[in-house]
Amino acid sequence: MTLYSYCESPIGELLLTGERDRISGLYFSTGSKARGADSEWERQDKTFRKARRQIEEYFAGDRREFDLVLAPHGTEFQLDVLNALLKIPYGETCTYAEVAESVGRPKAARAVGMANSRNPIALIIPCHRVIGSNGTLTGFGGGLRAKRYLLEHEFAHSGLFA
C-alpha cells in the first residue's frame, strides 16, 4: 500500500509517498507536475518523519545531501539518469548534454530531458540542478519559480563563493 505525508516548504506544500521506509515520490503542489494524494493511499505522517526533518534541514541551509532510502520507478535509462542526478554537487548545475555524457549516451540530451521530467522524487533527486546548454532555466515540474528558488537557495548556502 502506498503511504503518504505532506511537508511544508518555502516553495509550497510537498507530497511524500512511499512504502515502509522507502521514498518513492516527492511531488510539488505547484507547476505542471503538481500532484495530490490518491484516494486509495493511506496518510501516515510517522513513516515520513525522517524525510520531513531532512527536507526542513535542507530548506534551513543545514543539509546538502539526503540520507534516505529511495525507491524510484522508471525504465533502466530513466534510473541511470536519476542516479547521475544524484552525483550533481549541491550548489552546482550541469546541462542535459553533460548528464547524457555521464550516462554513456552523449547524443541523448533530449532523452535525458524527458527522463529528468519524469523524476518521481524531485528535490531529493536533484533534477532542479539541470539547466539548458545556454545556461537558461528550462522546464521544471514544480514550476520555474520553484527551480530558481532551489538553485538560488543552494548557491547561497554552498559556501562556494564565501
Which residues are the active-site residues? 127
Q: What is the CATH number of domain 75-158?
A: 1.10.10.10
Is 90 exceeded by the pLDDT of residue 52? yes
Q: What is the mean pLDDT of residues 79-99?
A: 96
Chain mean pLDDT for the chain: 93
Looking at per-residue pLDDT, the higher value among 64 and 142 belongs to 64
The model's pLDDT over 20-49, given as tens digits with 9 standing for 90+, comes to: 889 999 999 988 888 999 999 999 999 999
Q: Tell me if 37 sits within 8 A of 150, measured CB to CB.
A: no
For residue 11, what pLDDT is reported? 95
The model's pLDDT over 113-155, given as tens digits with 9 standing for 90+, comes to: 999 999 999 999 999 999 998 888 888 888 899 999 999 999 9
pLDDT band at 161 (very low <50, low <70, confident <90, very high): low
Kindly give the residue spans of alpha helices, DSSP state H, lying in 38-143. Answer: 49-60, 76-85, 96-102, 109-117
Q: Which one is the CATH code of 3-60: 3.30.160, 1.10.357, 3.40.50, 2.40.170? A: 3.30.160
Looking at per-residue pLDDT, the higher value among 140 and 160 belongs to 140
Listed by start position, the domains of the chain span 3-60, 75-158
Is 80 exceeded by the pLDDT of residue 159? no
Of 110, 156, 154, 149, nearest to 31 by C-alpha is: 149
* Strand boundaries in 107-161, DSSP class E: 130-131
Q: What is the mean pLDDT of residues 67-77?
A: 96
* Strand boundaries in the chain, DSSP class E: 3-7, 14-19, 22-28, 42-43, 69-70, 94-95, 130-131
Q: Tell me if 27 sits within 8 A of 45, measured CB to CB.
A: no
